[in-house]
Each structure stands twice: as structure tokens, then as C-alpha cells.
């Protein structure tokens, strides 16, 4: 996991604002009968990226500076998905090297965050050519009290960790 400025080779899709780069390996079971990553598998991969990016690691584990949420059941806090959208730009074939999932925040609300993702081919391509942008996605995550279900305000620690990655949200092709 790295915190870097998007250097993008995918044209306007990669901006010059800081992004988190979370490598995520594909599993053979992520493919469907058409030999590319199934849409439900893509949601699971993005969920895994969120966990790695936002949940505090166990002692001795590596994590980005944005991993400030307590994932324990005793924390009393839930992170719930209010909305998700994915725009597929190219089929994701099986590959042994991890995908390069880049993420940033399109908005920090009172109790919610808009997480923006771009899913790229591995950063170290065999041909040395540019990365392929496979998909863009957005998830609105709401922080809630586990007992009452009521929204919880983002903490100063969360805002401090996430604000450096605040940038323009994704503009989807169908909304232009």
C-alpha cells in the first residue's frame, strides 16, 4: 500500500491529487464463464480495498495513514454502504500480479464519506506499457452507532487522515 500522487497513464482519469494505491490479488473464483472478473466479484474486491484502507491493522501489520477505523465488534461503530456505482471500462482478465486500485475521497460529509476508486491493471506490466483502466467506482459509506443505527459524526482523527486525499468525485460517462 502506498500513498502517492496519481501519476496516471490513463489520460484524464488519473489526476494529480494524492491517491492511495492498494494492491489486490485476483482469485481464480473471481472469474465468470466469460473468463473475466464478475461484477459481484468486483464489489467484493472493492470491499477488501476499503477494509485495507480504513481499518486499523493488527499489531505489526502494514497499513496506510488512512487506516483509522476500529474494526472490532466491541467498537460500537458500523460502516454501512449507502450507495455504490461502478462503471466498467474494460473486462478484467485473470492475472497473477495484483491490480492497482487507486482511491480517494470525493466528499467528506458529517457522518459519511464518498470513496472513489479506479481499478487499474498491475502497476508492473510485463510489456512495460501503460496501465489499463478497467473500472471506476464510488461508494458512499456511512458511519453509524451499532446499537441505535443512528449516524455518527466523523471524528477529528478521521478527518485529519482522510482530508489529504480529498479531490473531485468521479464523473461518470452517463451523467455528462
> What CATH number is given to the structural domain containing 154?
3.10.129.10
173 in a structural domain: no
172 in a structural domain: no
- Over 50: is that where the pLDDT of 10 sits? no
175 in a structural domain: no
Report the predicted TM-score, pTM, of the whole model to 2 decimal places.
0.86
Overall domain count for the chain: 1
104's enclosing H/E stretch is strand 99-108
149 in a structural domain: yes
Q: How confident is the model at residue 108, as a pLDDT?
A: 98
150 in a structural domain: yes
- Over 80: is that where the pLDDT of 147 sits? yes
Q: Rounded to 5 degrees, what are φ and ψ at 8? A: 10, 135
C-alpha cell at 56: 486499523
C-alpha cell at 123: 502497476
pLDDT-derived band at 175 (thresholds 50, 70, 90) equals: low
Determine the structural domain holding residue 22 and report its residue range.
Answer: 2-6+15-165
d(CA 17, CA 164): 9
Amino acid at each position: 500500500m502506498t500513498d502517492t500522487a496519481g501519476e496516471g497513464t490513463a489520460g484524464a482519469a488519473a489526476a494529480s491529487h494524492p491517491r492511495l494505491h492498494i494492491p489486490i490479488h485476483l482469485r481464480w473464483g473471481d472469474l465468470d464463464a466469460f473468463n473475466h472478473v464478475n461484477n459481484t466479484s468486483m464489489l467484493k474486491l472493492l470491499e477488501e480495498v476499503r477494509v485495507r484502507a480504513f481499518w486499523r491493522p493488527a499489531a505489526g501489520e502494514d497499513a496506510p495513514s488512512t487506516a483509522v477505523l476500529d474494526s472490532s465488534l466491541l467498537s460500537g461503530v458500523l460502516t454501512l454502504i449507502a450507495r455504490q456505482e461502478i462503471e466498467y471500462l474494460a473486462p478484467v482478465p485473470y492475472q497473477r500480479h495484483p491490480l492497482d486500485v487507486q482511491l480517494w475521497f470525493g466528499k467528506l460529509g458529517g457522518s459519511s464519506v464518498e470513496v472513489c476508486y479506479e481499478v487499474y491493471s498491475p502497476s508492473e506490466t510485463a510489456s512495460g506499457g501503460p496501465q489499463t483502466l478497467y473500472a471506476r467506482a464510488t461508494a458512499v459509506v456511512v458511519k453509524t452507532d451499532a446499537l441505535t443505527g443512528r449516524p455518527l459524526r466523523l471524528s477529528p482523527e478521521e478527518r485529519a487522515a482522510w482530508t489529504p486525499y480529498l479531490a473531485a468525485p468521479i464523473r461518470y460517462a452517463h451523467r455528462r
